[in-house]
Amino acid sequence: MLPVIHYFNISILIKMQQKILILDFGSQTTQLIGRRVRELDTFCEILPYNKYPENDNDVIGVILSGSPYSVHDPEAFQIDLSRFMGRLPVLGICYGAQFISHSLGGKVEKADSREYGRAHLKTIDTENPLFRGFDNDSQVWMSHGDTITAIPDGFRCIASTPDVRYASYTNGKDVWAVQFHPEVFHTVQGTQLLRNFVVDICGSKQDWSAASFVDTTVAELKKEIGDDRVILGLSGGVDSSVAAVLLNRAIGRNLTCIFVDHGMLRKNEFRDVMHDYECLGLNVIGVDASAKFFADLEGVTDPEQKRKIIGRDFVEVFNAEAKKISGAKWLAQGTIYPDRIESLNITGKVIKSHHNVGGLPKEMHLQLCEPLKWLFKDEVRRVGRQLGMPEHLITRHPFPGPGLAVRILGDITPEKVRILQDADDIYIRGLRNYKVKLSGDEARKVLAAGVPAQMNDGEIEVSLYDQVWQAGTVLLSTVRSVGVMGDERTYEHPVALRAVTSTDAMTADWAHLPYDFMARVSNEIINKVRGVNRVCYDISSKPPSTIEWE
């Protein structure tokens, strides 16, 4: 039996406030719709298409997402539209638009060719509230194999492209539909369209913000926890760090944080992060357990086995330290909203994403505190800024829980970790120090992710580190390659550099880093890191590859 999960009254307050409901039909960009709505200072909740709530008094509008299915597939996801249509404003996106048309008597047919990529709205009814403020030639992003060839009676077309007649349609009252994706960056005025729907049509008060979240959550934490003691496991990452600072503001020294060093963190990370936490005034216990982890990992090469050993050892070390803290009643975690969202795969089965509480020992008997459980990653970063945290902590890239162990192919030894730490340190410092100027879609993407940058003459200047979602170095310790250094032949390991761009890590593209940067980093790694004589760059995207190698 896991620890009792206790939900703060903040959950009740959230349920009582206005919200947009997003019904997920399996699209890879459903979470992106949610993030865009939140960026409009409006709370939203993502639910599987078949989990529409019995009580929707707090819902002010419904959005139907895209889907990997055709509406004609026998296993296609379907919902009874009458549950909300006619009572609430509805926006159908891609499959959502096609499903509405198909369900109400319109016609959806296989397109002559797959409509994928950029398109331009040439005919737009800019008097319609959905397209208010739009340009006459607005770029949008299409991604569908079917197309709407007839709309239901009582509906009319309000936007077209040269190839898609019914790019958008409405009944003129409470239903709008678009066959393109307003949530993606390639739809230039997508945010404007969502603003028109969420704010103007649905009537959002736009009262969901980092400042209001901090004030409300701190007040509720004080009320619910009172004088109880709380334990929080820190990882050095953004989520747990923001959760710690938020709790510290509410309960101060009654919070004890535990930061376990398993020996596979980045170079000097344990020292640097401990220093950051002390500067933030957190009560932190640092535990160097690297000897235990290295001993238990000796000779293990299977990636899954490595993860299990590290997870087991972490729980043992954490539990041993937690038992030393008398009177603790709560366990705090940096769980965020994407950890809790039910996602749909194309088999139609509901899959729960991982939950941080999964490996806790039964005997801890602590109540669970998850102060960030309603936030997306970019919202967590905004809350961190609201709390006055240093930027380098807020903008840290995601880092795997097992650390460099899953970036070393083969068995783990202290020497291999040292090689990888040295190479990775050169790479990450290089990304932070190399500045680039961005404009257009790329600039909008970086700014939307919350990176602090000033627009100057249509351009922003940021580091390569801020431009990519995640970067890291992989040691191919099972491979040796021949090289020449000076007049001597070498037989050492190659390393692979990895950098990806993404919005939610569900999909990711390899980052097109500048050649001069790659040349500089490669040269520095080979010259300075003993044990490496070759540097490669991973140009695989997810899918079919994953971001991490193991």
Both structure tokens of 256: 């004890």
By C-alpha distance, which of 411, 517, 542, 402 is closest to 467?
517
**Inter-CA distances, 347 with 143, 160, 247, Å:** 20, 33, 40
DSSP string for 399-464: --TTGGGGGBSS---HHHHHHHHHHHHHHHHHHHH-EEEEEHHHHHHHHHTT-----BTTEEEEEH
DSSP string for 247-306: HHHHHGGGEEEEEEE-S-SSTTHHHHHHHHHHHTT--EEEEE-HHHHHHHHTT---HHHH
**pLDDT greater than 50 at residue 48:** yes
94 flagged as catalytic: yes
DSSP 8-state symbol, 353: P
Instruction: Identify the three-state secondary structure at position 197.
Output: helix
pLDDT at 473: 97
Counting every residue written for the chain, the total comes to 550
pLDDT at 14: 55
Helix axes 515-528, 414-433, angle to 10 degrees: 150
pLDDT at 4: 37
304 flagged as catalytic: no
Q: Report yes or no: 356 and 334 within 8 Å, Cβ to Cβ.
A: yes
**pLDDT greater than 70 at residue 152:** yes
Given 44, 94, 202, 369, which residue is catalytic?
94
The mean pLDDT of the chain is 88
Residue 370: alpha-carbon gap to chain centroid: 17
Q: Which helix (H) or strand (E) holds 224?
A: helix 210-225
Tell me the pLDDT tens digit for each residue of 488-500. 777 789 999 999 9
- Within 10 A of 386 (CB to CB), how many other CB atoms are there? 17
Q: Report yes or no: 505 and 547 within 8 Å, Cβ to Cβ.
A: yes
Tell me the pLDDT tens digit for each residue of 385-428. 999 999 889 989 989 889 999 999 999 999 999 999 999 999 99
369 flagged as catalytic: no
Tell me the pLDDT tens digit for each residue of 380-397. 999 999 999 998 899 899
CB-count burial class (<10 Å; 0-12, 13-18, 19+) for 540? middle
Q: Report yes or no: 477 and 409 within 8 Å, Cβ to Cβ.
A: yes
Q: Report yes or no: 249 and 213 within 8 Å, Cβ to Cβ.
A: no
**pLDDT greater than 50 at residue 136:** yes
By C-alpha distance, which of 263, 224, 174 is closest to 371?
224
pLDDT at 352: 33
Identify the weakest region by mean pLDDT among 188-197, 370-379, 521-530. 370-379
**Look-up of token digits 């747990």:** 240
Q: Which helix (H) or strand (E) holds 498?
A: strand 488-501
CB-count burial class (<10 Å; 0-12, 13-18, 19+) for 195? buried
Task: Give the confidence band of 362 by pLDDT, cuts at 50, 70, 90.
Answer: low
Q: Report yes or no: 60 and 204 within 8 Å, Cβ to Cβ.
A: yes
Q: Report yes or no: 505 and 470 within 8 Å, Cβ to Cβ.
A: yes
Both structure tokens of 193: 């369209």
Task: Give the confidence band of 434 by pLDDT, cuts at 50, 70, 90.
Answer: very high
Report the largest interatomic distance among the alpha carbons of the chain, rounded to a whole angstrom: 82
Q: Report yes or no: 167 and 121 within 8 Å, Cβ to Cβ.
A: yes
pLDDT at 357: 38
**pLDDT greater than 60 at residue 189:** yes
Q: Report yes or no: 138 and 124 within 8 Å, Cβ to Cβ.
A: yes
**pLDDT greater than 90 at residue 159:** yes
- Within 10 A of 70 (CB to CB), how many other CB atoms are there? 16
Torsion, Cα 68 168 91 23, to 10 degrees, reads 0
Instruction: Identify the three-state secondary structure at position 112.
Output: strand
Both structure tokens of 525: 């790694």
Q: Tell me the sheet residues that pair with 342.
A: 352
Question: What Rg value do the Cα atoms of the chain yield, rounded?
Answer: 25
Instruction: Identify the three-state secondary structure at position 70.
Output: coil
CB-count burial class (<10 Å; 0-12, 13-18, 19+) for 378? middle
Given 181, 186, 262, 493, which residue is catalytic?
181
Tell me the pLDDT tens digit for each residue of 532-546. 999 999 999 888 888
Task: Give the confidence band of 354 by pLDDT, cuts at 50, 70, 90.
Answer: very low
pLDDT at 449: 66
**pLDDT greater than 90 at residue 61:** yes
Both structure tokens of 180: 């393109």
Q: How far apart are the first and last CA of the chain?
A: 30
Instruction: Find the mean pLDDT for residues 156-168.
Output: 93
DSSP 8-state symbol, 2: P
pLDDT at 377: 86
**Look-up of token digits 């409901």:** 21
Given 39, 45, 183, 370, which residue is catalytic?
183
Tell me the pTM. Answer: 0.81
Both structure tokens of 72: 């004609």
Higher pLDDT, residue 98 or 452:
98
Tell me the pLDDT tens digit for each residue of 474-492. 999 988 887 777 667 777 8
Task: Give the confidence band of 194 by pLDDT, cuts at 50, 70, 90.
Answer: very high
